[in-house]
């Protein structure tokens, strides 16, 4: 019917609105663009409701509420919020696309994405526990039961209305409400009340002086009757008295409510004993009493509704009983299957073997030159890749859980030290291997405690430095060029490099202070037995900890960077591999030895040109940039003549680039990392080994150590990649 | 004689659905895409009810309401304002301007029909 055409209009309209929203989001500074964003979400929500697209409505509603707060100026439009709203925008676009494809209620994937985004929006929402209940206001609680009605036992509602004087001017006709009541049931008795009618000159024909006492025979809920008068409620007095027989029904409804953790008011509303407006009125009475009495709370809600005769005590008692039982029930179930970690590890191991076996089959197939075999192995390779990714993703967990444990720690520790510190968490949904997450928790704990204890200054110093009273500590996780980066940043005093240097010289850790870069000085704090804190506090400062942090991160094949500005704060940055088990590798040859470079750090490959004048400095000119390089042949002391053509693999870790010179490039393949034996632990530049398809062993390079070797030759000129480089 | 309702909203799809719903229930429907458009189309003919969005370009619902109450022919015409739960402030402003009937967006067509029939039956 016509509705389908209207839906099509809606889809087109929604796409246009979303486009406009995106444009505004990318330039969110003016109030008009914020307004435009709000209007886009608002209109989509409004129209979606017409088609009963509840999932879209629900999502848009939350986004709209957040945007409304931004619009009202009660919420700053921070870049992270902009990102979030952008993500929400993309999500709505997806919802509309699904609708276009005929998926009215949204696919399970999209619904899950909705939940995830809604959870992220939650912190930006206003902190009213029950916005839906609270928004619908009014009802006068002062009405009294009429005893006769009670005794008669008739299933008759009694409605008492005193219309507001202004309603005629507002376009409301008292008669229209009576007409509408008659569509709900039979009006058995009607008494007009004219006692407010003034005499003579005081009478204004545009004023309404009418009151009505109505007896209505109708099988309806209280809410329905209340809604009849919703447009005149605010100016008029409406009292609705339930028929006696309703009480039994209320009790039954309350008992049948699904279990859940609810407020008493919510139970009463869901049991249809009170309307949300009644509840709001009772709650505001409660608040008012609390204010007037100067106490924390006025009378209890149950007491209020009983004493105001809104409900008989039996109903409230039943609701309280329900609430008590609900609290004993456990909370909701998660839709997850719990699997023992060992089983997962075993699976990942097996997949590793499968990868190796697959590579072996590939090699044989390539030799056979049989196109059918090649085709078959190609399919298997693709499937193995997928299985590998899936198996690894099973072990991936979000870091958010680890992060959020720090909320408590930050709160406790900062209170203990009498500092006011706010913890900001970003990238909680970033995933990484469970085995890594487990080993991260200790180093993170050390750094967080250190930041609270030594990083963020006492209040007096903060004030003197013109910083906000509340210190800020942030935990941030994100993916960057194939690795995961985790940051612990504070806005505290920063590292005191002078003191670090003095201490390092005193402890004999360094000889020549002048030769060190800032970064290298910063990293000194990770040396064993190093602590510059003047006083040893209960939490940190004993010089144990930071070296443990370094060791933990090393074990994870990760690196640490420290960025610190004196007086402005410190950021510790861990860079970790996504997984410990299987990586995409890039195979290279020196003579007949195979080496593997993790593919995600490989930037490009090129020929090493004719020997340059800077050969002795080990630098090549990469499009104008000085790139330090090293020959694997030299590092591992491989015998044999230099080949006629050498190749350079350009790698990047963090913002440091270097070239690795090899004989031949063999291409990419999947690598299962096998640890090196004890014998090779101390060899610099090797991170592990792997087995090639041919059954030969290849060595996996620890590129980080190699880069350090390459750059260490020129200690005064570390290549930094930045806009100025 | 069917009663006439004017719907004022910038969303064409919303107008379309509301129009289908109301026409189906036996009302006549006029459409306008914002307050300014509505004022231009209201030239003294009998309109029994107006349904207006609040948040619209050119002329918003509240300004429209103020303006239309100045026109003698529409001084006592009931107006249903469409609003959202997020727009409580707006609602207060609207009430100050004399808007009493509010329907909260998002709504299903039958909700609007119920609200309309409380004010005028077809």
- Cβ of A135 within 8 Å of Cβ of B107? The answer is no
User: What is the chain B residue with the closest CA to A178?
Assistant: B118
B8: CB partners within 8 A, 6+ apart: B31, B32, B33, B34, B35, B37, B38, B50, B51, B52, B53, B56, B61, B64
The pLDDT score that the predictor gives to residue B32 is: 92
Would you place residue A328 in the very low, low, confident or very high pLDDT band (cuts 50, 70, 90)?
Answer: low
Do A252 and A300 belong to one domain? Answer: yes
* Nearest CB to B86 within list A3, A51, A64: A64
Model-wide pTM > 0.80: no
Q: Which of A124, A20, A136, A129 is nearest to A72 (CA)?
A: A124
Residue of higher predicted confidence among A71 and A511: A71
- End-to-end CA, chain A: 64
Check whether A129 has a pLDDT greater than 70: no
Nearest to B5 by CA among B53, B57, B46: B46
Using the predicted structure, report yes or no on whether residue A588 has a pLDDT greater than 50: yes
Residues A227 and A165 in one domain: yes
Closest alpha carbon to A364 in A3, A692, A703, A1: A692
Assess if residue A336 is contained within a domain.
no
The whole-angstrom distance between B63's CA and the closest CA on chain A is 15
| Cβ contact, residue pair A179, B10, below 8 Å | no
A368 within a domain of the structure (yes/no): yes
Say if the Cβ atoms of A235 and B100 lie within 8 Å: yes
Q: Which whole number is the average pLDDT over A279-302? A: 71
| Residue pair A145/A241 in contact by the 8 Å Cβ criterion | yes
A332 domain residue, yes or no: no
Residue A210 near residue A190 (C-beta atoms within 8 A): no
The average pLDDT across A379-394 equals 85
Contact A50 B108 (CB under 8 A): yes
* Residue B5: pLDDT over 90: yes
Residue B87, pLDDT score = 61
Q: Assess whether A366 and A408 both reside in one domain.
A: no
Looking up tokens 């958010």 gives A400
Name the one residue in this structure whose structure tokens are 């967990």: A397
What whole-number distance in Å separates Cα of residue A12 and Cα of residue A8?
Answer: 6
Domain-located, residue A184: yes
Summarised one tens digit per residue, pLDDT across range A591-621 is: 888 999 988 788 898 887 765 545 566 778 7
The reply to whether A333 falls in a domain is no
- pLDDT given for residue B7 in this prediction: 93
- What is the pLDDT averaged over residues A333-354? 78
pLDDT in tens, A514-560: 777 887 888 888 877 676 554 444 444 444 567 778 888 887 878 88
Q: Which residues of B touch A61 (CB under 8 A)?
A: 85-86, 106
pLDDT in tens, A461-488: 888 888 888 888 999 988 776 678 899 9
Task: Please identify, among A97, A124, A151, the residue that sits at the C-terminal boundary of a domain.
Answer: A124
Which three-class secondary structure state does DSSP give residue A567? coil
Indicate the SS3 state at residue B60: coil
| Residue A16 belongs to domain with CATH number | 1.20.120.160
Last residue of one domain, picked from the residues A304, A327, A350:
A327
**Distance between CA A352 and CA B56 in Å, rounded?**
60
Q: Where is the domain boundary, A124, A157, A183? A: A124
pLDDT for A209: 86
Question: Nearest residue of A to residue B98 by CA position?
Answer: A170
**What pLDDT, on a 0 to 100 scale, did the predictor assign at position A482?**
62
- How close B2 comes to chain A (CA, Å)? 16
Q: What is the pLDDT averaged over residues B103-116?
A: 83
Residues A560 and A676 in one domain: no
Q: What is the pLDDT of residue B30?
A: 92
- The CATH number of the domain holding residue A600 is 2.30.30.40
Run of H or E residues at A662: strand A656-662
* Residue B4: per-residue pLDDT: 92
CA B86 to chain CA mean position, Å: 19
- Does residue A505 fall inside a structural domain? yes
| Co-location of A390 and A401 in the same domain | no
Contact state of B13 with A9 under an 8 Å Cβ cutoff: yes
Selected residues 60-89 of chain A with any CB under 8 Å from a CB in chain B = 61, 64-65, 68, 72
| Half-sphere CA count of A411, side-chain side, radius 13 A | 5
Lowest mean pLDDT among A13-22, A284-293, A337-346, A652-661: A284-293
Minimal CA separation from B53 to chain A, in Å: 10
- What per-residue confidence (pLDDT) applies to A226? 81
B17/A6 CB distance under 8 A: yes
Cβ <8 Å between A10 and B13 = yes
Rounded to an integer, what distance in angstroms lies between the CA atom of residue A593 and that of residue A374?
26
ipTM, two decimals, is: 0.75
Residue B16 with chain A: CB contacts under 8 Å: 2, 5-6, 9
- The pLDDT tens digits of the residues spanning A659-688 come to 888 998 988 877 777 777 777 767 778 878
Furthest-apart CA pair in chain A: how many Å?
A: 122
CA pseudo-torsion sign A628, A634, A635, A638: positive
Q: Which two tokens stand for residue A469?
A: 């009273």
In-domain check, residue A644: yes
Nearest CA to A671 out of A366, A383, A385, A344 is that of A385
Q: Tell me which residue has tokens 């619009």.
A: A71
Distance from CA of A355 to the nearest CA of B (A): 53
Asked if A57 and A48 count as a contact pair (C-beta separation under 8 A), the reply is yes
- Residue A430: which domain range? 397-577
For A236, name the nearest residue in chain B, comparing CA atoms only: B100
Q: Whole-angstrom Cα distance, residue A483 to residue A214?
A: 73
Q: A55 vs chain B: nearest CA distance in angstroms? A: 12
pLDDT > 50? residue A139: no
**Least CB–CB distance from A135: residue in B77, B85, B100:** B85
Concatenated DSSP letters of A308-331: TTSS-HHHHHHHHHHHHHHHHS--
- pLDDT, position B70: 86
Which positions 227-256 of A are in contact with B (Cβ < 8 Å)? 227-228, 230-232, 234-235
What does the mean pLDDT of chain A come to? 77
Per CB-CB distance under 8 Å, the chain B contacts of A138 are none
What is the DSSP code (8-state) at residue A602? E
DSSP annotation string for A585-599: EEEEEETTEEEEEEG
Residue B104 Cα, gap to closest chain A Cα (Å): 9
For residues A442 and A361, membership in a common domain is answered with no
Is there a contact between B79 and A131 if contact means CB atoms under 8 Å apart? Answer: no
Nearest to A166 by CA among B67, B88, B75, B91: B75
Q: Are residues A308 and A432 in the same domain?
A: no
Instruction: Name chain A contacts of B71, Cβ cutoff 8 Å.
Output: none
**Residue A717 pLDDT exceeds 50:** no
Which of B78, B84, B107 is opposite residue A64, by nearest beta carbon? B84
Both ends of chain B: CA-CA distance in Å?
9
Contact state of B13 with A6 under an 8 Å Cβ cutoff: yes
Number of H helices, E strands in chain A: 24, 21
Peptide bond into B106 cis (omega under 30): yes
Q: What are phi and psi of A136, to 5 degrees?
A: -95, 110
Q: What is the DSSP string of A521-546?
A: HHHGGGSTT----SS--SSS-SS-SH
Residue A491, pLDDT > 70, answer yes
Whether residue A417 is found in the same domain as residue A517: yes
More confident residue, B98 or A57: A57
Residues of B in contact with A235 (CB under 8 A): 100
The reply to whether residue B14 touches residue A231, judged by beta carbons under 8 angstroms, is no
Residue A73 placed within a domain? yes
Please report the pLDDT score of residue A131 as a whole number. 40
Both A615 and A590 in a single domain? yes
What is the model's pLDDT at position A118? 87
Query: pLDDT tens digits, residue range B41-96?
Result: 988 788 999 999 888 888 888 888 888 888 888 888 888 888 775 566 767 777 77
Q: What is the pLDDT of residue A507?
A: 76
Q: Within this chain, do residues A198 and A293 fall inside the same structural domain, yes or no?
A: yes
- Say if residue A136 is in the same domain as residue A107: no
Q: What are the structure tokens assigned to A34, written together?
A: 């914020």
Please give the tally of structural domains in chain A. 5
A302 and A190 belong to one structural domain = yes
Strands A483-490 and A559-565 turn out to be unpaired
Interface A-B, measured as beta-carbon pairs within 8 A, has a size of 121
């Amino acid at each position: 019917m016509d509705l389908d055409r209207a839906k099509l209009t809606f889809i087109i309209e929604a796409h246009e609105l979303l486009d406009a929203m995106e444009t505004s989001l990318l330039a969110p500074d003016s109030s008009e663009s914020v307004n435009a964003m709000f209007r886009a979400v608002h209109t989509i929500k409004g129209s979606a409701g017409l088609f009963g697209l509840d999932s879209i409505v629900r999502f848009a509603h939350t986004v709209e509420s957040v945007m409304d707060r931004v619009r009202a100026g009660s919420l700053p439009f921070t870049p992270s919020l902009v990102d979030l709203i952008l993500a929400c925008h993309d999500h709505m676009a997806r919802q509309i696309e699904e609708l276009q494809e005929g998926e009215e209620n949204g696919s399970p994937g999209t619904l899950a994405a909705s939940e995830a985004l809604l959870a992220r929006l939650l912190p930006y929402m206003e902190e009213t526990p029950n916005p839906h209940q609270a928004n619908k206001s009014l009802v006068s609680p002062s009405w009294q039961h009429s005893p006769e009605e009670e005794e008669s036992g008739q299933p008759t509602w009694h409605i008492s209305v005193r219309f507001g004087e202004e309603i005629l001017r507002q376009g409301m006709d008292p008669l229209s409400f009576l007409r509408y009541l008659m569509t709900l049931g039979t009006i058995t008795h009607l008494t007009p009340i004219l006692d407010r009618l003034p005499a003579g000159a005081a009478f204004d024909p545009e004023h309404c002086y009418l009151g009505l006492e109505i007896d209505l025979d109708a099988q309806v809920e209280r809410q329905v009757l209340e809604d009849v008068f919703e447009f005149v409620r605010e100016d008029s007095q409406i009292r609705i008295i339930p028929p006696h027989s309703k009480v039994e029904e209320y009790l039954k409804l309350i008992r049948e409510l699904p279990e859940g953790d609810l407020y008493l008011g919510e139970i009463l509303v869901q049991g249809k004993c009170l309307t949300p407006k009644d509840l709001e009125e009772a709650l505001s009475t409660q608040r008012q009493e609390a204010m007037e009495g100067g106490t924390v709370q006025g009378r209890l809600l149950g007491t209020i509704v009983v004493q105001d005769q809104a409900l008989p005590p039996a109903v409230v008692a039943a609701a309280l009983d329900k609430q008590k039982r609900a609290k004993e029930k456990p909370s909701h179930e998660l839709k997850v299957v719990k699997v023992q970690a060992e089983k997962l590890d075993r699976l990942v191991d097996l997949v590793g073997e499968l990868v190796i076996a697959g590579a072996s089959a590939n090699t044989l197939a390539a030799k056979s030159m049989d196109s059918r075999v090649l085709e078959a192995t190609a399919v298997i390779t693709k499937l193995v890749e997928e299985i590998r990714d899936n198996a690894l993703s099973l072990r991936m967990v979000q870091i958010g859980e680890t992060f959020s444990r720090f909320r408590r720690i930050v709160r406790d520790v900062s209170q203990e030290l009498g500092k006011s510190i706010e913890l900001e968490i970003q990238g909680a949904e970033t995933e990484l291997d469970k085995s890594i997450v487990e080993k991260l928790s200790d180093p993170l704990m050390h750094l967080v405690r250190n930041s609270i204890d030594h990083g963020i200054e006492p209040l007096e110093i903060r004030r003197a430095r013109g910083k906000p009273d509340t210190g800020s500590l942030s935990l941030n996780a994100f993916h960057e060029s194939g690795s995961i980066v985790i940051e612990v940043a504070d806005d505290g005093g920063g590292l005191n490099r002078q003191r670090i240097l003095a201490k390092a010289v005193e402890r004999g850790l360094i000889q020549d202070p002048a030769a060190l870069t800032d970064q290298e000085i910063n990293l000194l704090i990770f040396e064993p037995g190093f602590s510059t804190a003047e006083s040893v506090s209960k939490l940190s400062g004993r010089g144990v900890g930071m070296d443990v942090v370094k060791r933990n991160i090393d074990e994870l094949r990760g690196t640490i960077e420290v960025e610190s500005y004196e007086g402005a704060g410190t950021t510790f940055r861990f860079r970790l591999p996504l997984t410990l088990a299987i990586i995409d590798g890039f195979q290279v040859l020196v003579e007949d030895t195979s080496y593997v470079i993790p593919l995600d750090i490989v930037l490009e490959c090129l020929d090493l040109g004719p020997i340059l004048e800077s050969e002795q400095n080990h630098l090549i000119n990469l499009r104008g940039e000085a790139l330090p390089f090293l020959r694997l042949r030299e590092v591992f002391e491989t015998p044999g003549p230099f080949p006629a053509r050498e190749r350079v693999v350009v790698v990047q870790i963090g913002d440091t680039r270097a070239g690795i010179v090899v004989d031949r490039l063999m291409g990419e393949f999947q690598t299962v990392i096998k640890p090196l034996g004890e014998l090779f632990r101390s060899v610099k530049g090797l991170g592990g080994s792997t087995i090639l398809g041919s059954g030969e062993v290849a060595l996996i390079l620890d590129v980080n150590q190699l880069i350090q070797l390459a750059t260490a030759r020129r200690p005064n000129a570390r290549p930094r990649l930045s806009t100025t480089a | 004689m069917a009663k006439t309702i004017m719907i004022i909203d910038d969303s064409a799809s919303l107008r379309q659905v509301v129009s289908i719903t109301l026409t189906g229930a036996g009302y006549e429907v006029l459409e306008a895409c914002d307050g300014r458009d509505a004022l231009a189309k209201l030239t003294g003919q009998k309109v029994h009810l107006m349904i207006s969005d609040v948040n619209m370009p050119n002329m918003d619902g509240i300004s429209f309401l103020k303006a239309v109450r100045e026109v003698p022919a529409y001084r006592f015409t009931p107006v249903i304002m469409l609003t959202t739960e997020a727009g409580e402030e707006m609602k207060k402003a609207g009430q100050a301007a004399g808007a009493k009937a509010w329907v909260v967006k998002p709504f299903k067509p039958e909700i609007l029909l119920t609200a309309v029939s409380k004010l005028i039956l077809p």
